């Protein structure tokens, strides 16, 4: 049995060791995602998955009871638009030639059952489940929290200016009314006498107030209906518009869908090795056209470079598969 706090300390020491190794070998930058599956005595038979992540490498759990979910959602705000070129953090000589960028260093934990599968991905895998990147949908941009705060401050300043202008106009109107008041006393007495016999006109005033409230209510309901219908908006080329949160939800569900399709075909639950193979093959199919276009556009690239790229992809697949298998085996034990 393990102490979760001790596991996270171990993961942080591993992070420091990786940073020192990169500097010692004068290597470049990299993201990092570590996962440790351990039994917890107080929560038996459940296990705890402790994850450390820096950058945009993500961790997921395929649960037999609850479906597929991401563990590392705390590494970024899934409700805001992000730049896929910015990983958010990295190990290596990012700052001052020695320090890493730990802006989105995240420690996450979740509970899993005995038959669940924990697997890790780089952004090269997870980004290709984003419907905007795969051209299935178009981005519906939303303001970030900082932009909303700045806009609210600007609106408050505008409101203050409007209130000051209104007060000035009100003072001018009061002065004019004061000048006209002395000459209108007789006329007002006549108007008062007439209004005493015209009680029906007062109901018209009340009716106009009711109409105004009704129009405001209709406008609000129309605005709410328009906001609730944002999911049906489409881009100029007919693709649906999706917010960042909807894109994240779609990516997780799409990953879960291809796993379930394999299980329906195989008529059994997929293993950790099969799961990673399914996901990698799906991404390879999606990016096949891009890789072919790149090859034909760059015919001057030597065969040795092409072979090295191919071997790098194969090595990445093997490492991903082995990582998932090791996690699954450790999980079973």
> What share of the chain has pLDDT > 70, as a percent?
59
Q: From CA 317, how far away is CA 310, in angstroms rounded?
A: 11
- In the chain, DSSP finds a helix count (H) and a strand count (E) of 8, 10
Model pLDDT for residues 67-116, shown as the tens digit of each residue: 999 999 999 999 999 888 899 999 999 999 899 999 999 999 999 998 99
- The first and second tokens of residue 153, run together, are 């401050």
Burial of residue 92 (CB within 10 Å: 0-12, 13-18, 19+) is: buried
Task: Answer with the residue of higher pLDDT: 192 or 238.
Answer: 238
Give the CA distances from residue 202 to residues 70, 185, 190, 194, in Å, rounded to whole numbers and listed in that order. 63, 21, 17, 12
pLDDT band for 16, please (50, 70, 90 cuts). very high
Q: What pLDDT shows up at residue 156?
A: 60
CA distance 243 to 139: 6
Residues 6+ apart with CB under 8 A from 95: 101
- pTM of the full predicted structure? 0.65
Across the range 32-49, mean pLDDT stands at 89
Cα–Cα dist 45/164, whole Å: 67
Q: How far apart are the first and last CA of the chain?
A: 12
Q: Which of 38-52, 59-73, 288-302 is the least confident region?
A: 288-302
Place of tokens 């940073």: 19
What share of the chain in percent tops pLDDT 90? 50
């Amino acid at each position: 049995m393990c102490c979760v706090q001790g596991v996270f300390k171990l993961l942080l020491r591993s992070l420091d060791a990786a940073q020192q190794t990169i500097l010692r070998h004068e290597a470049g930058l990299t993201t990092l995602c570590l996962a440790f599956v351990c039994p917890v005595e107080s929560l038996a038979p459940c296990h705890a998955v402790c994850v450390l992540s820096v950058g945009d490498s993500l961790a997921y759990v395929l649960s037999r009871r609850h479906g597929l979910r991401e563990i590392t959602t705390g590494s970024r705000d899934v409700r805001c638009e992000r730049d896929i070129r910015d990983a958010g953090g990295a190990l290596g000589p990012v700052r001052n030639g020695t320090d890493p960028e730990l802006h989105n260093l995240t420690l996450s934990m979740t509970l899993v059952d005995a038959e669940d599968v924990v697997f890790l991905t780089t952004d090269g895998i997870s980004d290709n489940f984003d419907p905007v990147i795969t051209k299935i949908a178009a981005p519906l941009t939303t303001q970030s929290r900082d932009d909303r705060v700045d806009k609210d401050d600007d609106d408050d300043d505008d409101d203050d200016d409007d209130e000051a202008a209104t007060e000035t106009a009100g003072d001018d109107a009061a002065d004019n009314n004061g000048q006209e008041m002395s000459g209108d006393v007789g006329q007002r007495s006549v108007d008062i006498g007439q209004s005493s016999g015209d009680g029906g006109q007062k109901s018209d005033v009340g009716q106009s107030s009711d109409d105004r409230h009704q129009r405001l209510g209709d406008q609000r309901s129309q605005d709410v209906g328009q906001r609730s219908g944002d999911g049906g908006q489409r881009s100029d080329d007919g693709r649906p518009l999706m917010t960042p949160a909807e894109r994240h939800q779609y990516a997780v569900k799409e990953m879960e869908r291809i796993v379930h399709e394999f299980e329906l075909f195989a008529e059994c639950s997929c293993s950790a090795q099969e799961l990673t193979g399914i996901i990698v093959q799906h991404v390879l199919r999606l990016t096949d056209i891009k890789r072919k276009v790149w090859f034909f556009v760059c015919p001057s690239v030597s065969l040795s470079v092409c072979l090295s790229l191919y071997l790098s992809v194969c090595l990445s697949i093997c490492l991903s598969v082995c990582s998932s298998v090791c996690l699954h085996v450790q999980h079973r034990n």
